């Protein structure tokens, strides 16, 4: 089959590799009908995630048709159409039983690696380095899906892939980020740093949850336009003197009740962090995080869907303490959101395909990665089609 492989920093190749097969009794194999490049794939592309190996197949946003099931798979059968959540959860551990799905104890074969870094390991993730389990990803013609009865959601309707694909990650991730803001309908003001795909879904989710106002911060014009189209007030941080002053002006001096950092570890704006990250003295550039910590209202919530991988410098904990800010973050507990968000799509409350700017054949993935990384050609979200 054809698969998108990481072959080094900023080097993707489409290779012919063996087809995946059933390795464990709870596995199934999918024929991938649609897959996407995620903003977090760019952290891999740019070489910021340790333990990624040359030849690893990337991709954690995908859907498809079941072509093979293992002997212990009870709920799925060959021919079923499914969307697969990007985190792999067993369904049997204490964390799964408490719906803390991304904290699953049992799916990362390399848990010791993550334990060394973080103290404990959570759920494995498709195509996201050995640290997160080393599972081959879904930017391929076929993919193996472990614990198939726990993860994939079966699609009964005939909605097109474009409207369903983002249930695999960015819609639930943006939604959980908004849910973490403890929005009081009609009253809460939410500021969102980063108008990439997750930021876009966070904006729309916050409004669906009743936010009185959502303020979007970025410097890419087409992303700000998309945010405005979704109902947000846009701030271009390159065109204002001070983001915090601007936020005060939009909130009657109070500051936003909740701040969402949908940027993560590769924020732009600080030469200090760029240098330290390049020299490997710091894993993450946290410019947006620091700004959000200073801007959020007293007693407010800081919600972080942006990915951080290791250590961050100069975090203003004094501001977080002085203002009694609550921080909520972590990998998305995907399985919680699949059914409710599928219903929102089926009921026409949201059409997730709004975020797609490019559709290309799987074979064009290397160019698509470069375009997405450089934000060229107005690129916000790329869908890869294995059949094209």
Residues that bind another protein (CB under 8 A): 1, 3, 5, 7, 13, 15-21, 23-26, 53-57, 72, 90-94, 97, 105-109, 111-113, 115-117, 119-120, 124, 133-136, 140, 144, 146-147
CA–CA separation, 3 and 153 (whole Å)? 23
Between 133 and 264, whose beta carbon lies closer to another protein? 133
Q: Minimum Å distance from CB 135 to another protein?
A: 6
Q: Minimum Å distance from CB 308 to another protein?
A: 16
Q: Minimum Å distance from CB 54 to another protein?
A: 7
Q: Minimum Å distance from CB 180 to another protein?
A: 25
Q: Minimum Å distance from CB 75 to another protein?
A: 14
DSSP secondary structure letters along 330-368 = -S--HHHHHHHHHHHHHTTS--GGGG--EEEEGGGHHHH
**Which residue do the tokens 């551990």 mark?**
93
Between 144 and 336, whose beta carbon lies closer to another protein? 144
Between 53 and 156, whose beta carbon lies closer to another protein? 53
Between 120 and 244, whose beta carbon lies closer to another protein? 120
Q: How many H-runs (helices) and E-runs (strands) does the chain carry?
A: 13, 18
Q: What are phi and psi of 5, to 5 degrees?
A: -115, 140
Between 111 and 183, whose beta carbon lies closer to another protein? 111
Residues 6+ apart with CB under 8 A from 124: 87, 88, 104, 107, 108, 109, 132, 133, 134, 135
Tokens of 72: 């212990």
* Distant-in-sequence contacts of 95-100, Cβ < 8 A, 24+ apart: 95/122, 96/150, 96/335, 99/333, 99/335, 99/336, 100/333
Q: Minimum Å distance from CB 218 to another protein?
A: 34
Between 13 and 222, whose beta carbon lies closer to another protein? 13
């Amino acid at each position: 089959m054809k698969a998108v492989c990481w072959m080094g920093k900023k080097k993707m190749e489409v290779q012919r590799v063996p087809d995946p097969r059933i390795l464990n009794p709870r596995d199934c194999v999918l024929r991938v009908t649609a897959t996407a490049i995620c903003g977090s794939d760019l952290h891999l592309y740019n070489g910021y995630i340790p333990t990624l190996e040359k030849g690893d197949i990337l991709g954690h946003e995908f859907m498809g048709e079941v072509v093979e099931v293992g002997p212990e798979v009870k709920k799925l059968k060959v021919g079923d159409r499914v969307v697969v959540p990007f985190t792999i959860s067993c369904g049997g551990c204490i964390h799964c039983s408490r719906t803390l799905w991304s904290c699953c104890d049992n799916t990362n074969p390399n848990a010791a690696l993550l334990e060394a870094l973080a103290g404990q390991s959570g759920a494995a993730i498709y195509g996201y380095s050995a640290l997160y389990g080393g599972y081959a990803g879904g930017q391929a013609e076929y993919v193996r899906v472990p614990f198939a009865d726990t993860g994939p959601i079966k699609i009964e309707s005939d909605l097109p892939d474009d409207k369903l694909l983002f249930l695999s990650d960015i819609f639930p991730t943006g939604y959980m980020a908004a849910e973490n803001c403890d929005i009081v309908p009609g009253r809460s003001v939410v500021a969102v740093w980063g108008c990439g795909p997750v930021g876009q879904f966070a904006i729309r989710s916050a409004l669906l949850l009743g936010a009185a106002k959502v303020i979007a911060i970025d410097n890419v014009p087409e992303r700000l336009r998309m945010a405005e189209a979704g109902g947000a007030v846009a701030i271009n941080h390159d065109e204002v003197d001070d983001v915090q002053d601007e936020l005060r002006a939009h909130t009657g001096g109070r500051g936003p009740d909740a701040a969402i950092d949908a940027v993560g570890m590769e924020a732009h704006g600080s030469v200090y962090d760029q240098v330290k990250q390049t020299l490997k003295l710091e894993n993450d550039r946290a410019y947006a995080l620091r700004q959000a910590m200073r801007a959020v209202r007293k007693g407010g919530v800081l919600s972080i869907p942006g990915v951080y991988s290791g250590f961050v410098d100069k975090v203003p904990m004094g501001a977080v303490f002085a203002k009694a800010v609550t921080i909520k973050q972590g990998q998305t507990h995907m399985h919680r959101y699949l059914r409710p968000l599928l219903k929102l799509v089926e009921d026409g409350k949201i059409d997730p395909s709004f975020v797609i700017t490019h559709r290309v054949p799987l074979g064009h993935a290397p160019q698509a990665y470069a375009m997405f990384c450089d934000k060229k050609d107005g690129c916000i979200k790329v869908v890869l089609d294995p059949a094209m």
